[in-house]
Structure 1
Amino acid sequence: MFGLFKKKTEKEKLSEEYKMLMEKAHKVSHSDRKAADKLMYEAEEIAKKIDALTK
């Protein structure tokens, strides 16, 4: 209950977005490989941002 009003950090937001993009890329990869590759690229860009925040 006390975490209800806790704001998410930038790293947490990016991690959630990365996870969402990876799941979407996996689902799309069964039908449209080109779209899946684009989503994977976007996810990798987010992963680079997360890595930069970690350092």
Structure 2
Amino acid sequence: MFGLFKKKDPLEKLQDKYRKLLAESHTLSQRDRRAGDEKMAEAEEVAKEIDRLKSEGA
């Protein structure tokens, strides 16, 4: 079924989480700058984890 039940690897999961956090941060920043900044900080932590996983894989 063309990858219907294919499991995502940890890197793909983190990249999805990063994209969602960035989108949420953008939405929140339009109403509440502090909440948007907090989401951005969470996204940066996920980005660091992505970089760490990529460097381990290389």
Task: State the TM-score, normalized to the length of structure 2.
Answer: 0.91
How far is 1:18 from its partner? 0.4
What is the aligned length? 55
Identity %: 53
CA RMSD of aligned residues (A): 0.6
Runs (4 or more) in structure 1 with deviation over 3 Å come to none
Ranges in structure 1 where 5+ consecutive residues have no aligned partner: none
Find the aligned partners of 1:35 and 1:4 in 2 and give their Cα distance: 36
Q: Which residue of 2 aligns with 1:11?
A: 11
Query: RCO higher in 1 or 2 (8 Å CA, sep ≥ 6)?
Result: 1
**TM-score, length-scaled by structure 1:** 0.95
Which amino acid is the alignment partner of residue 54 of structure 1? K
Q: Work out the CA distance in 2 between the residues paired with 1:18 and 1:41.
A: 11
Equivalent in the alignment of 1:53: 53
